[in-house]
Amino acid sequence: MDIETVASLSSFLAALVLLTAFAMLVQKRIYSLIHLFAWQGLLLSANTAVVGYVAAKHHLYISSLLTLSLKVVLLPYILHVLIHRLKIRKEIETIVNVPMTMLIGLALVIFSYHLTAPVRELSSLVTRSTLAVALATVLIGLLMMITRKHAVTQIIGFLAMENGLFFAATSATYGMPLVVELGVALDILIAAFIFGIFFFHINTAFDSLDVEKMAKLKEVD
Amino acid sequence: MTGGPILTEFLQIMLLLGAAPLFIGWVRTLKCWAQSRDTAGVFQPYRDLARLFTKDVVLAENASWIFRFTPYLVFGTAILAGGIVPMLSTDLPLGLSADVIVLVGLFAISRFFTALAGMDIGTAFGGMGSSREMMVASLAEPAMLMAIFTVSLADKSTSLSHIAEVAFSSQALLKPSLAFAFLAFVLITLAETGRIPVDNPSTHLELTMLHEAMILEYSGRHLALIEWAGMMKLFLFMALGSALFFPWGIDKSGDLSGILLAGGLLTIKLGVAGVVLVLIETGLAKMRLFRLTEFLGSAFLMATLGMLSFFILE
């Protein structure tokens, strides 16, 4: 495979990552959301391996494998177990105005394109054009956390944001040093466990994972 | 042996007129197989049209000229559109004078007049159908234009013949912008031709109709012309998709062997497109009307993402 083909493959994977980000933004069912998250992880892992091939950096293969095991297998599994244990029956969630959310998402993509334009001029890496997509993925994850009301979906939005950050690191600098990546992976894993524990506490205290219900904490109305 | 471009044009319009009912028949047959029902055969649409042509026209007393004129206009624009979309050859006299934006305009004119005719008689269902159709159109047309602009950007022209030639000769397979535009185009095709997640073409329940409600008052040859034009519209969208995204085999020079090859490849492409259409239709249920904004909104999203990824990634 020559470098041009590999670069276009990497752009294609980047486009697919962006597509999954948008799909997660508007998906209403929690289980489908987790599947989409796993798909995004898979695309990310494939992209990391492709970038590793282009840049001839072998530690990227390890971080690709790490992504595969953590974000495609382990985290979705933990989320599945969590939803099962918490007995979330009503898995369909209302989102504020889907077309509007999509338009805001589009605006975020344009914004991140303009924001990363100077970097694209300076950088000489093959993957420099995917930096805008990575930033857009981060911002869309943030948007997802804002527009959702259910705690579990907010966490999925947070994890999607982390996916975007990881993607940005791969496309801007051919990946962080392996030590840092191992640390981040461990952090995410620990975070997932802590979230799980918090969910159980929230659930027992409020009988719901709807964050709007937490307004009940106020002493006076 | 070479035929003139005019002859190619003529051949193509004949193909459109002749093969559009056959394609609908193929889709219906496949659908019957998928639902393990008995089929009426792939030639049933021809028999339906022939039957309608022999029947008398029943006109409402207060029908104006719009109501009588619309079937001919709808039929005429469908034929004209058939002269623009390169199905067999890119060497089309009409293709030089009219680009893809004109094509969208032609579809819009025929839809506008159908909506007027729906309201002309003054029945409740006609007005309801017109209002629904216009709602779908107002969402589908921007998405359609956006998807087409994406393809035009990638191939640097809005002329369909030129797009087909450039897309045929370019070697790049993994173009994210074209992939997004294609996804958007599939969603728009379902909406524009009234297929299942948007509209049910075989419904008999007036309350759920979109397109059918508008033409409920038509009968005889008027209905035959409108139905035929509807079949041609589906055929045209499939041919348009083939010209924009899979232009393999479309002839450039206009000689007979090339046209025959293009015809054979078009048959295969349409056969496959029919299977995909039936898979989509049997896999999905008709959407609630007010969820259509989400459906067509995502078509617009895909088309815009295609355009953005052209600038960002290519």
pTM to 2 decimal places: 0.90
Q: CA of B195 to nearest chain A CA: how many angstroms apart?
A: 22
Is A6 in the B-facing interface, judged by CB distances under 8 Å?
no
Do residue B308 and residue A22 have CB atoms under 8 angstroms apart?
no
Total beta-carbon pairs less than 8 A apart between chain A and chain B? 59
Is A26 in the B-facing interface, judged by CB distances under 8 Å?
yes
Residues facing A92 on adjacent strands: A29
Q: CA of A91 to nearest chain B CA: how many angstroms apart?
A: 19
Question: What share of chain B in percent tops pLDDT 90?
Answer: 54
Is A102 in the B-facing interface, judged by CB distances under 8 Å?
yes
For residues A87-102, give the mean pLDDT.
Answer: 78
Question: What share of chain B in percent tops pLDDT 70?
Answer: 97
Q: Structure tokens of B211?
A: 């397109």
DSSP result, B97-132: H--HHHHHHHHHHHHHHHHHHHHHS--HHHHHHHHH
pLDDT tens column, B120-147: 988 888 999 999 999 999 999 999 999 9
User: Chain B residue with minimal CA distance to A20?
Assistant: B302
Site from A10, A18, A36 to mutate, B interface, most B CB atoms within 10 angstroms:
A18
DSSP, collapsed to helix, strand or coil, labels residue B242 as: helix
pLDDT of residue A217: 66
Q: What is the dihedral of CA B151, B153, B300, B238, to 10 degrees?
A: -10
The ranges assigned to domains in chain A are: 3-217
Smallest Cβ distance to A106: which of B176, B301, B313? B301
* CA A134 remoteness from chain centre: 10
For residues B6-34, give the mean pLDDT.
Answer: 92
Q: Structure tokens of B22?
A: 């056959």
Q: CA of B141 to nearest chain A CA: how many angstroms apart?
A: 16
For residues A78-98, give the mean pLDDT.
Answer: 80
pLDDT tens column, B193-251: 988 888 887 777 878 888 888 988 899 999 999 999 999 999 999 999 988 888 887 77
Tell whether the torsion through CA atoms of B154, B156, B157 and B158 is positive or negative.
positive
Smallest Cβ distance to A132: which of B179, B294, B312? B312
Is A9 in the B-facing interface, judged by CB distances under 8 Å?
yes
Chain B residues lying within 8 Å of A106, measured CB to CB: 301, 304-305, 308
pLDDT of residue B1: 43
Residue B2 has pLDDT above 80, yes or no: no
Smallest Cβ distance to B179: which of A15, A102, A113? A15
Smallest Cβ distance to B305: which of A18, A26, A130? A18
Residue B74 has pLDDT above 80, yes or no: yes
Is A129 in the B-facing interface, judged by CB distances under 8 Å?
yes
pLDDT of residue A17: 94
pLDDT tens column, B157-186: 888 888 888 877 776 566 888 889 999 999
Q: Structure tokens of A163?
A: 């996916």
Q: Structure tokens of A41?
A: 């992880």
Residue A221 has pLDDT above 60, yes or no: no
Is A113 in the B-facing interface, judged by CB distances under 8 Å?
yes
